[in-house]
């Protein structure tokens, strides 16, 4: 397995891989990898000859006051995990190389970024789409895989990939969860044992929503009310950022559950902001 830190070296190797007729898969990450990330690598391995995993904590997607400085990092551990998962290349660029002095060019997807996470975190998605577009240009992938847990991000990046004519096969892999249902996230490490139990409020709320839909209750307002009750019952101090019901593809809001409706939510617990989602029909 190769570890590359230079943009020029990564570009040169990518060109050589393309010239050799190999299919390149890309898994962009911010590091501190868990089994969810590793599942993306394994999925990509089935679709490509070479898998490039990137490790880069992207500063442009963090707003002032967010957890950029304390975002968990474990490069040595990440590299070991990537190797064990079958990864081929690890690309670890430096922030000053990605965003040199005087940098002022950004990529933005308009409408899909104005709701949910985009509404709560202005400019967040501009940072995400910019870094991923740069990684596409550097690594030249044929296949890219993103996780369903970051559903809106996956749809925004899918739109960017289509609109900018990247010749890339785009895949969205299922959310990987702990045995108790908590969606895997690098930020889960912030919780102590009791807080970790309270973090289950998101998955409990989504289970409640699914149950209500099975019982033919499709009024989003009623479902949202019950989800709030479940969240507060699990964690009294939880602060709900949003609970939203939207179309899977367009993210257009809906008042009644119908085919391709997805429920997304963001909740802050003990100063940690978690997101989760589930397709309801």
Residues designated catalytic: 37
Q: Which residue shows structure tokens 């889960």? A: 188
Query: Using CA atoms, how far apart are residues 263 and 210, in angstroms rounded to an integer?
Result: 9
Could you tell me which of 62, 60, 50, 57 has the C-alpha nearest to residue 75? 57
Q: What is the DSSP letter of 253?
A: B
Pairing of strands 24-29, 143-147: parallel
DSSP per-residue letters across 4-28: E--HHHHHHHHHHHHHTTPPEEEEE
- Rounded to the nearest 10°, the torsion over CA 209, 191, 54, 241 is 40
User: What is the C-alpha R_g of the chain?
Assistant: 19
Query: Using CA atoms, how far apart are residues 63 and 11, in angstroms rounded to an integer?
Result: 30
Residue 161 has, within 13 A of its CA and on its CB side, a CA count of: 21
Residue 52, beta-bridge partner list:
26, 89
Pairing of strands 261-269, 272-279: antiparallel
């Amino acid at each position: 397995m190769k570890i590359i830190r230079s943009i020029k070296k990564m570009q040169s190797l990518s060109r050589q891989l393309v010239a050799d007729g190999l299919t390149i898969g890309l898994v962009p990450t911010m590091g501190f990898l868990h089994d969810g990330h590793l599942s993306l690598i394994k999925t990509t391995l089935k679709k490509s000859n070479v898998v490039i995993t990137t490790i880069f904590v992207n500063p442009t997607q963090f707003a002032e006051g967010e957890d950029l400085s304390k975002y968990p990092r474990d490069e040595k551990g990440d590299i070991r995990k990537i190797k064990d998962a079958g990864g081929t290349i690890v690309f670890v660029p430096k922030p000053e190389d990605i965003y040199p002095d005087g940098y002022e060019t950004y990529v933005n997807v308009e409408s899909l970024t104005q709701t949910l996470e985009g509404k709560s975190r202005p400019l967040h998605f501009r940072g995400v789409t910019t870094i991923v577009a740069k990684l596409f240009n550097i690594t030249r992938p044929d296949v890219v895989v993103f996780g369903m847990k970051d559903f809106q991000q996956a749809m925004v990046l899918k739109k960017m990939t289509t609109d900018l004519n990247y010749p890339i096969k785009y895949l969205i892999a299922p959310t990987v969860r702990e045995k108790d249902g908590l969606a895997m996230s690098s930020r889960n490490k912030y919780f102590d044992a009791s807080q970790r139990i309270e973090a289950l409020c998101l998955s409990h709320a989504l289970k409640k929503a699914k149950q209500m839909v099975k019982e033919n209750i499709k009024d989003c307002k009623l479902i949202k009310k019950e989800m709030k009750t479940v969240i507060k019952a699990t964690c009294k101090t939880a602060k709900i950022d949003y609970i939203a019901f939207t179309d899977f593809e367009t993210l257009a809001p809906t008042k009644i559950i119908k085919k391709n409706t997805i429920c997304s939510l963001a909740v802050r617990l003990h100063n940690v902001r978690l997101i989760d989602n589930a397709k309801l029909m």
